[in-house]
């Protein structure tokens, strides 16, 4: 049965989610700027479009009533406020806003309102968490490592990078301290630290550095060693460290004549043109996950490789596809009533744990594969 879904945000990922869910549900997309509606309008004229500010509770209250589910695909800077507004209105939510705030701060409110809120439902965090949760439920996991990144295929010799999502959220990844787990203890390191190089098939050499991507895993899974690292072309980390350490990413205002400005806002305006993906630009998203532990009394390791490229037919970037289709797969599970037993904030790893978790996990992987996103798994066992 077709149900009513409201997608907040008409950016790259919000567009991918809306187009996917519109295949079998009634979808309306809300955004503060009608400029973002153009791609949706040209791709599917059955999707409704509404101009609104999701951070304004009164506006959301007047809009949200007819919907069975809300998908929050807004940038991190405003995503938490929008998420709270949706919960205040008593609506189930799937969230990919990746805000700096702790989503569990809204757990009591969500329980009081009797709603289910699945957070961090992208590729990483999101799919990476589900993979961790799936194996945590089936083995004694000792180590979980996630490497993930989205990059243009062609390097420009300047930044060698294009932002597949909000540049502000990219900058936040470079400034937010990275939380890891080492020997059972949560430790904090600088973002962009512990740089290492990896050689990948079809891609070549990339560098990996610490970022704060474990998020809910820090609270839900007792794994002695966990870390997430972001992938970029070699040299990017040192370049970004230089800008960060020189204050270009600071949010503390400085005086320029008689006007106070935040260096981060200026840097955003300067970097955005360089980081903007050109229409139809070839790019890719890759995620590598390594899991090791004891399974059935044997040392066992699993390695996952998720890979996708710009899709010519749909005009969607690989990051929009891998993030958006993961989110829409979870949204379908909620719309079908597969996750109706718990209210409150639900971490993505919980989807792959507990009752019917195997079916849910395989359903999500199956949906991604149906969209021609490559997922390969290799298992090794030591006697």
Q: Quick: pLDDT tens for 144-158.
A: 999 999 999 999 999
Q: Is residue 253 classed as helix, strand or coil in its secondary structure? A: coil
- Both tokens of 137, joined, read 């439920």
* Alpha-carbon span 51 to 31, nearest angstrom: 5
What distance, in Å, lies between the first and last C-alpha atoms of the chain?
50
Three-state secondary structure call for residue 156: coil
Q: What is the pLDDT of residues 174-183, one digit of tens each?
A: 999 999 999 9
Please give the C-alpha separations between residue 221 and each of 88, 126, 181, in angstroms, as whole numbers: 28, 14, 11
Q: Residue range 325-353: average pLDDT?
A: 93
Percent of the chain predicted with pLDDT > 70: 100
Say whether pLDDT at 341 is over 80.
Answer: no
Arithmetic mean of pLDDT, 149-177: 92
Domains in the chain with CATH codes: 4-123+318-373 (3.40.50.720), 127-309 (3.30.360.10)
Q: In the structure, what pLDDT confidence band is assigned to residue 72 with cuts at 50, 70 and 90? A: very high
State residue 231's pLDDT score.
98
Count CA atoms within 13 Å of residue 174 on its CB side.
Answer: 26
pLDDT number for residue 45: 87
* DSSP alpha helix (H) spans, 114-211: 127-136, 167-175
pLDDT at 239 over 90: yes
On the question of pLDDT at 383 being above 90, the answer is no
Once rounded to an integer, what is the mean pLDDT over residues 126-151? 97
Q: Which residue has the higher pLDDT, 38 or 309?
A: 309
Q: Where are the beta strands (DSSP E) in 110-224?
A: 116-118, 140-152, 178-182, 185-189, 196-200, 204-210
pTM summary value: 0.95
**Which of 257 and 66 is assigned the larger pLDDT?**
66
Q: Which stretches does DSSP call E strand in 311-373?
A: 344-346
């Amino acid at each position: 049965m077709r149900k009513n879904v409201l997608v907040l945000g008409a950016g790259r990922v919000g567009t991918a989610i809306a187009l996917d869910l519109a295949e079998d549900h009634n979808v309306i997309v809300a955004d503060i700027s009608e400029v973002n509606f153009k791609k949706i309008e040209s791709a599917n004229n059955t999707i409704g479009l509404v101009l609104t500010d999701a951070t304004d509770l009164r506006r959301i209250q007047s809009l949200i009533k007819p919907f069975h589910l809300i998908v929050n695909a807004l940038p991190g800077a405003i995503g938490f406020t929008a998420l709270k507004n949706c919960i205040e209105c008593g609506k189930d939510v799937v969230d990919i806003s990746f805000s700096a705030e702790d989503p569990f701060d809204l757990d009591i409110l969500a329980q009081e309102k009797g709603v289910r809120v699945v957070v961090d439902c992208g590729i990483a965090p999101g799919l990476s968490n589900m993979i961790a949760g799936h194996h945590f439920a089936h083995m004694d996991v000792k180590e979980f490592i996630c490497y993930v990144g989205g990059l243009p295929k062609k390097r420009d010799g300047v930044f060698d990078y294009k932002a597949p999502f909000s540049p502000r959220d990219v900058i936040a990844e470079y400034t937010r301290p990275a939380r890891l787990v080492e020997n059972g203890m949560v430790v904090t390191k600088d973002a962009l630290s512990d740089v290492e190089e990896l050689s990948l098939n079809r891609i070549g050499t990339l560098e990996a550095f610490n970022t704060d991507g474990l998020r809910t895993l820090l609270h839900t899974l007792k794994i002695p060693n966990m870390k997430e690292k972001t992938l970029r072309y070699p040299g990017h980390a040192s370049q970004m460290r230089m800008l960060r350490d020189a204050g270009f990413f600071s949010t503390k205002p400085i005086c320029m004549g008689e006007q106070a400005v935040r260096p981060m806002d200026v840097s955003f305006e300067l970097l955005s043109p360089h980081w903007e993906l050109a229409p139809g630009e070839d790019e890719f998203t890759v995620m590598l996950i390594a899991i090791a532990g004891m399974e059935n009394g044997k040392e066992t390791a699993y390695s996952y490789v998720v890979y996708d490229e710009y899709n010519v037919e749909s005009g969607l970037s690989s990051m929009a596809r891998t993030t958006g289709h993961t989110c829409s797969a979870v949204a379908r599970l909620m719309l079908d009533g597969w996750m109706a037993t718990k209210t409150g904030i639900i971490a993505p790893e919980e989807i792959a744990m507990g009752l019917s978790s195997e079916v849910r996990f395989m359903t999500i992987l199956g949906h991604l594969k149906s969209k021609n996103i490559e997922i390969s798994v290799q298992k090794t066992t030591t006697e």
